[in-house]
Structure 1
Amino acid sequence: MSESIEISASIVLYKENIKELEKTIESFLSIDLPKKLYLIDNTVDKQFDNVFINKQIEYIGFGKNVGFGMGHNMILNKIEKTSSFHLILNPDVIFSKEVIPTLIEALKRDPSVAMVAPRVLFPNGEHQFSCRRYPTILELFARRFKFFSGTFKEKISKGVYSDKDLSAPFFAEYLTGCFQLYRTRDLIDLKGFDERYFLYMEDVDICKKIDVLGKKKLYFPQVVIYHVLKKGSEKNLSLFLRHSLSIIQYFKKWKN
């Protein structure tokens, strides 16, 4: 019989900075709740096998890179009847042990909320725009090519809720995928991420799916996490092309 836990989490791994990953894992394991962490290893050589040994950690190695969304989806059948809440977590995030219990309480207060996310800061304390309106093609274009940012400054500003008080909770359109806390039942009903996205835009897509489910996403800045945010697609041509393909897939899917 499967053990019932309050909170499960999954981290998809691919050539991670081991020291950053250690801090992320330590953050999750510090929570004073029954918990389970799934490490999904997408490296070909199963780089993280037997690296983190703990009864609250389950390692899953595929021997190939199956992508972000499919990686997280692989454990849906494991959590469906065991956990009450599930955290989608990046391998470069640090948070205090009070963060998750506080967010769980926020979820419990409103059954219409499927997912909640905290305020996100860079490691140096600067604000990270983790809650956004759904992107337009022009906005994504301007954000990618900085020399156009002045022309579309107002559109970019609106996209990051510059007209909102970001120190107060509100229902956002899109919350970035570095830290998304779900009711497990809702994540199962959503069937997780759309696996057609190998990398990028799957977090925007699942927020759209929450809308279709008739539920909400809550931005809850009363608690804070720290996220490195590597911006790989701005530095690597292969990742840039993957990001571009995902953008095309996203707008094709949600064109109506």
Structure 2
Amino acid sequence: MTGRSVLVVTVTYDSTEAVRQFLASIPDAGESIGEVIVAENASSEALQTKAVAGAAGARFLPLSSNVGYGSGVAAAIDAASKPYDYILVSNPDVVLGRGSVDVLVAAAEERLDGGSFGPKILTSEGDVYPSARRLPSLGTGVAHALFGRVWPTNPWSMKYRAERESDQRRNAGWLSGACLLIRPSAYRDIGGFDLSYFMYFEDVDLGDRLGRAGWSNVYIPEAVITHSGAHSASRNVKRMERAHHDSAYRYLSRKYSGWYNAPVRLALRLGLWGRLWWISR
């Protein structure tokens, strides 16, 4: 290995069993891993999660309220005991593949222009999740939102998700925040995660701002992790759908922020409200 050090941070909310598996996967994921911090968003399972984190040798960081994903990540990074060469941000319902973190670090040492590096993400069924996507435009974003569930192979979703490009190293518009290696200098350069996003789209926004600041978002398929989707979001579907739609509007409305785009923003708001009603009815 390169001798580089990695800070690992995750954010939990009623995620005790999921984070147990995540923490168990860390020792085999890389020799570069140093400190591990579990930020807990004041859920009903806080005491159980504290016990699991302690047993795994991780630091437990209790937060006073549910501040959301990006804010939880930021709090964990700020609580690190020393500077690290890289930061691995991960959901708690992830199992890191053997050597996956070291592979990401080695890639980051080669690509000094890279601000973030994402692994290949497998579902619990073993399918490849399209985690390295293009930035959503008005056309592809709206079409994907409208047709992505009822017609998964529609051309707009296929273009946005870049599903046919899952086996090669490449630059992406943004990388899934489910598991992401970040260069600290790039993180500081853009001010970290935008804390106005409670959940969802904070990773889209991060990749967008990294790209505009001159950094690359690099997909590294040789690093493999599994994302089960087993944490609290899957148990609070309607609330998470609302959070997803609110964040989608926040991102797209900022992208089309000029006064002359007021009709576009209104159409986005109405369309997203309609979609939320349809899938939550």
Q: Same fold (TM over 0.5)?
A: yes
Q: What amino acid sits opposite 2:134 in the alignment?
A: R
Residue 181 of structure 2 corresponds to residue 181 of structure 1: yes
Aligned to 2:222: 222
| Contact in 1 for aligned 2:194/2:202 (Cα 8 Å) | yes
Match of 1:29 among 6, 27, 30: 27
| Contact in 1 for aligned 2:128/2:166 (Cα 8 Å) | no
| Contact in 2 for aligned 1:142/1:148 (Cα 8 Å) | no
Q: What amino acid sits opposite 1:117 in the alignment?
A: G
Aligned to 2:262: none
Q: CA RMSD in A?
A: 2.7
Partner SS for 1:51:
helix
Equivalent pairs, count: 251
Q: How does 1:1-256 map to 2 (within 5 A)?
A: 6-16=5-15, 18-30=16-28, 31-45=30-44, 46-47=46-47, 48-53=49-54, 56-79=57-80, 81-137=82-138, 139-144=140-145, 149-150=150-151, 153-162=154-163, 164-229=164-229, 232=233, 236-255=237-256
More helix by share: 2
Partner SS for 1:224:
strand
Q: Give unmatched runs, 5+ long, in structure 1.
A: none
Aligned to 2:271: none
Partner SS for 2:70:
helix
CA 1:147 to 1:129, structure 2 compared with 1: closer, same or farther past 3 Å? Answer: closer
Provide the C-alpha distance between the structure 2 equivalents of 1:203 and 1:213, rounded to a whole number of angstroms.
15
Provide the C-alpha distance between the structure 2 equivalents of 1:213 and 1:80, rounded to a whole number of angstroms.
28
Which deviations, in whole Å up to 9, do the C-alpha atoms of 1:168-216 show, x marking residues without a partner?
A: 1000111111001011222222221100011111010000110122110
After TM superposition, give the deviation of residue 56 of structure 1 in Å.
Answer: 4.6
Provide the C-alpha distance between the structure 2 equivalents of 1:42 and 1:112, rounded to a whole number of angstroms.
33
Q: What amino acid sits opposite 1:228 in the alignment?
A: S
Provide the C-alpha distance between the structure 2 equivalents of 1:104 and 1:160, rounded to a whole number of angstroms.
25
Q: What amino acid sits opposite 1:110 in the alignment?
A: R
Could you tell me the TM-score, scaled by structure 2's length?
0.80
CA 1:103 to 1:148, structure 2 compared with 1: closer, same or farther past 3 Å? Answer: closer
Q: Give unmatched runs, 5+ long, in structure 2.
A: 258-281
Partner SS for 1:53:
helix
Q: What amino acid sits opposite 1:24 in the alignment?
A: F
CA 1:77 to 1:63, structure 2 compared with 1: closer, same or farther past 3 Å? Answer: closer
Partner SS for 2:239:
helix
